A and B are shown apart, each in its own frame.
Chain A
Amino acid sequence: MSERISRADVVHVARLARLRLDDDEIDLFTGQLGDILAHAADIEALDVGDIPPTSHPLPLVNVMRADVVTPSVDRDEVLAQAPAPEDGRFRVPPVLGEEP
């Protein structure tokens, strides 16, 4: 089933997800992801013309809350859990690349 997804695809997707995979893992996931896609292809072969597309498992729309301010959390408590708070903010490594 590996023709549905190539090793290169898996490497690409892993990089987008910031996952470092070794060669064995790439082989393993290429096979597994191929199986999943094969299953999707089976479903694709069925005639589902009469079935409305599902955008959510629950038959709900317009679930909303009123525009009311509720208390935020304590900044010091949050920052205490960050590896390197500085000046009331979260310190992060230098950002490479542009904001999307």
Chain B
Amino acid sequence: MTDFSAAAATDATPIEPTLPDGWELVVGLEVHVELDTASKLFCGCANQFGSEPNTNICPICLGLPGSLPVMNERAVELAMTLGRALDCDVRRSVMARKNYFYPDMPKDFQTTQYDQPTNSDGRLVLGDGFVVGVERAHIEEDTGKSTHIGGGGRISDAQYSLVDYNRAGVPLVEIVSRPDMRTIEHAKAYVEELREILIATGVSDARMEEGSMRVDANVSVRPHGSDELRTRCEIKNINSVRSLGRAIEYEARRHIDLWTSGSAPDQETRHWDEEGGRTLPGRKKEDADDYRYFQEPDLVPLDPAPETVAAIDAAMPPLPSARRAALADATGADPASVALLVGRGQDELALAAIAAGADADKVVVRLVNDLAVDDWSKVTATALAELVEMESSGAISATQAKQILADMTERGGDPAILAAARGFEAMDTDELETLLDGLIADNPDEWARFTSGDDADHKKMQGFFTGQIMKATRGQADGKTVARLLAQRST
């Protein structure tokens, strides 16, 4: 499906650093995502992961004679939303039958889109500004799930297979990129950016480990500077972003080895073998691409009115790239922290806390370090702002702020009340100074090593005194203040 018409490298073309000099990597990606609908694409069966086998099936998704499919309106809306998020043209489209025999497809054809997809000619801009063309993003139905029994679960040695049709008919969009990527990092970044867009728009939960997002990579290589397109292989069975990188590198090296030894790769589908760290050839299919597509007579065309597309644009939530720009603008934080918080969906919370008057740097640090949790819904922006303010003013230490944030995450509430409940009182500096002077008097040897020992000694004794203070104050002293007081006394 991928259109391999990539222009020759220019000075601006990135080079894959893990490959031998003189070779250019060419990668296009095909990504299937399950749409986050309540029901399937053509019937009212539940679109649900993890149900008991064959409990979400009916005559329509089993393809029984006489059953008629009806298009799911929400699936079309989500598909068009993704299309617009990827800058695609959203056009009149027609469903088609892709004919093949395979037990996971009970109808003996897959209902998909062929020459008239819903979304075409889009693009995805990566975090560093690199642009990847999107050829199309079309609507289709998912297939069932086969489990191969016997032969160690290997498809080629199986004695028989068991099929669960719960997934058959689940709405999918297949996003086909142009072969624009030249580095493994860009291929990984494309998948990660696409995943964030899918989540931000509510189109899919995009979980690679649960199979609601599946990535196939078209990989080829060519001499650097050439505009020829050499034989490509399609790599399937990639189930993480990390595996994607490993699979592309393995495959590119395999091609380079073949070309340099005067041979050539076969155009074929290969499977990523995660444990072996290699790609393996699929069984050769004759007539593999002879699917005899024809228009689906049971479904009428989709022809969105301009107002429909305009309404989708109007309802488009802020996309991750815009959200990163807004957070970077408001905080001046480093790109990695910004990307992390937007990836977690915590940018809105951060911006609201800053708007409520909290110190931007401290908000970012607190969230990056201490809110790596799945559910932070109990943490309000006001409470976060107050917590950061308590820390900024020295009313609580950084360690205490961490603990209070953990309480807020677990059960919500006001940080001042949570601090009081934990017995965190502001340790005033006078109290600390008295405590410290007492410790110095009681431990003269340690103090001597702190003031005139070598670096290692000095560090060790700094730890000793800080530890003693923390012990005496049950962790309520602020570490930075202790360090400052120690430094003052040693000069």
Contact = CB atoms under 8 A, between A and B. Distances in A.
A3 B102 CA distance: 33
Interface string A44-60: 00000000000111101
Interface of A: 12, 15-16, 18, 55-58, 60-73, 75, 78-79, 86-100
Interface in B153-205: 155, 158-165
B101 A18 contact: yes
Contact of B155 (A62, A75, A95, A100): A95
Contacts of A64: 70-73, 76
Given A92-B160, A100-B288, A75 B54 contact: yes
A86 to B, nearest CB: 6
The number of chain B residues touching the other chain, given as a range, is 35 or more
B164 A89 contact: yes
Interface of B: 37-39, 43-46, 52-59, 62, 70-76, 92, 94, 98-104, 116, 143, 146-148, 155, 158-165, 269, 282-283, 285, 287-288, 290-292, 295, 297, 299-304
B98 to A, nearest CB: 8
Nearest to B77: A67
Q: Which of B58, B162, B301 has the most CB of A within 10 A?
A: B162
Given A92-B160, A94-B159, A98-B282, A62 B303 contact: yes
State the 5 A-B residue pairs at the shortest beta-carbon distance, nearest first: A70-B44, A67-B74, A89-B162, A64-B73, A61-B303
Given A70-B43, A87-B162, 20 more contacts: A12-B287, A55-B116, A56-B300, A62-B300, A62-B304, A65-B70, A67-B74, A68-B39, A71-B44, A72-B57, A73-B59, A78-B57, A91-B161, A92-B103, A92-B161, A92-B162, A94-B160, A95-B158, A98-B269, A99-B146
Nearest to B150: A94
A63 B406 CA distance: 50
B55 A55 contact: no
Q: Which of B44, B143, B146, B269 has the most CB of A within 10 A?
A: B44
Nearest to A58: B300
A94 B161 contact: yes
Given A55-B94, A67-B72, A98-B283, A88 B52 contact: yes
A16 B300 contact: no
A61 B148 contact: no
Q: Which of B54, B74, B164 has the most CB of A within 10 A?
A: B54
A63 B71 contact: yes
B269 A67 contact: no
A11 B155 CA distance: 28
Contact of A66 (B57, B73, B159, B162): B73
Contacts of A15: 287
Given A56-B297, A92-B163, A65 B158 contact: no
Contact of A55 (B104, B155, B287, B301): B301
Contacts of A65: 44, 70-73
Contact of B160 (A63, A91, A98): A91
A58 to B, nearest CB: 6
